[in-house]
Amino acid sequence: MGKIKITQVRSAINRPKRQKATMQALGIKKLHNPVEHEATPQILGMVRKVSHLVKVEEL
């Protein structure tokens, strides 16, 4: 499995609770503050649910 870098590019304000919880579970705290994760199916599924709020890069 490779690594991916996830960066929040849009605000989570006025989003459903589940999307906010997913952002928190990914470890994203602030805009433009990247986090790195292994590209597991679980992480990729969470990224897919909030894909409109984040930018993903492969490392």
Q: What is the pLDDT of residue 1?
A: 75
Q: What phi and psi, each to the nearest 5 degrees, are found at residue 19?
A: -70, -40
Contacts for 6 with CB less than 8 Å, ≥ 6 apart: 26, 28, 34, 35, 36, 37, 47, 54, 55, 56
Q: What is the pLDDT of residue 3?
A: 97
What residues does each domain of the chain span? 3-58
CATH topology of domain 3-58: Ribosomal Protein L30; Chain: A, (3.30.1390)
Q: What is the pLDDT of residue 42?
A: 97
**Cβ density class 6-40: b for 16+ within 10 Å, e for less:** bebeeebeeeeeeeeebbeebebeeeeeeeebeee
pLDDT by residue, tens only, the chain of 59 residues? 799 999 999 999 999 999 999 999 999 999 999 999 999 999 999 999 999 999 999 99
